[in-house]
């Protein structure tokens, strides 16, 4: 590594909900630098969650992120001319990132509704332990479990 490590930036908490995780999720949701649009979409989704479930939307959001975040993932490693998929534990920051990406990918993959509604549905499904994002997590966990025999190649 020739350059010094980039400093860890501190993200200000979301103004409406006071959560740094919500603010970080808004940043992941944002496209083409349109943060106000991303904020409006997430706040609309939280409003829909509050209407439908009659619970605090931040709690539903936290539960969804906890349910979707994987404990193990596989990384490719070349050993003696062969590539092996080696299971590695996932760091907390990466777990949040993967959960956010999978939830957003599943919401964007749904058809025929505004993004706020699709995101609200996906978050509620993930909090219940169902939906496309949960399936993605299970696939990653299964892949890691299937390749446990190669765990000794990890450093």
106-145: pLDDT as tens digits = 999 999 999 999 999 999 999 999 999 999 999 988 888 8
Residue of higher predicted confidence among 135 and 81: 135
What per-residue confidence (pLDDT) applies to 154?
A: 66
Q: Grade residue 96 by pLDDT with cuts at 50, 70 and 90.
A: very high
Do the beta carbons of residue 49 and residue 120 sit within 8 Å?
yes
Q: What is the pLDDT of residues 42-78, one digit of tens each?
A: 999 999 999 999 999 999 999 999 999 999 888 888 8
Can you state the angle between helices 20-29 and 35-53, rounded to 10 degrees? 120
Sequence-separated (6 or more) residues with CB below 8 Å from residue 154: 77, 86, 87, 88
Q: What is the pLDDT of residues 6-25, one digit of tens each?
A: 998 999 999 999 999 999 99
What per-residue confidence (pLDDT) applies to 85?
A: 80
Domains and CATH numbers, the chain: 20-153 (1.10.455.10)
Sequence-separated (6 or more) residues with CB below 8 Å from residue 85: 74, 75, 76, 143, 147, 150
Distance of CA 132 to the CA centre of its chain: 12
Q: Grade residue 30 by pLDDT with cuts at 50, 70 and 90.
A: very high
Q: How far apart are CA 124 and CA 68, in angstroms?
A: 12
């Amino acid at each position: 590594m020739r350059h010094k490590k980039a400093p860890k930036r501190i993200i200000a908490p979301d103004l409406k909900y006071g959560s740094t995780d919500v603010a970080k999720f808004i940043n992941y949701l944002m496209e083409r630098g349109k943060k106000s649009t991303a904020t409006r979409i997430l706040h609309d989704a939280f409003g829909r969650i509050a209407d439908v479930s009659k619970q605090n939307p931040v709690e539903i959001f936290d539960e969804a992120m906890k349910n979707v975040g994987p404990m193990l993932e596989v990384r490719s490693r070349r050993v003696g001319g062969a590539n092996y998929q080696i299971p590695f534990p996932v760091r907390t920051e990466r777990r949040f990132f993967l959960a956010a990406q999978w939830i957003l990918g599943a919401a964007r993959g749904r058809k025929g509704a505004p993004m706020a509604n699709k995101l609200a549905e996906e978050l509620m499904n993930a909090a219940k332990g169902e939906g496309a994002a949960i399936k993605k997590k299970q696939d990653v966990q299964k892949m890691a479990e299937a390749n446990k025999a190669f765990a000794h190649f990890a450093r």
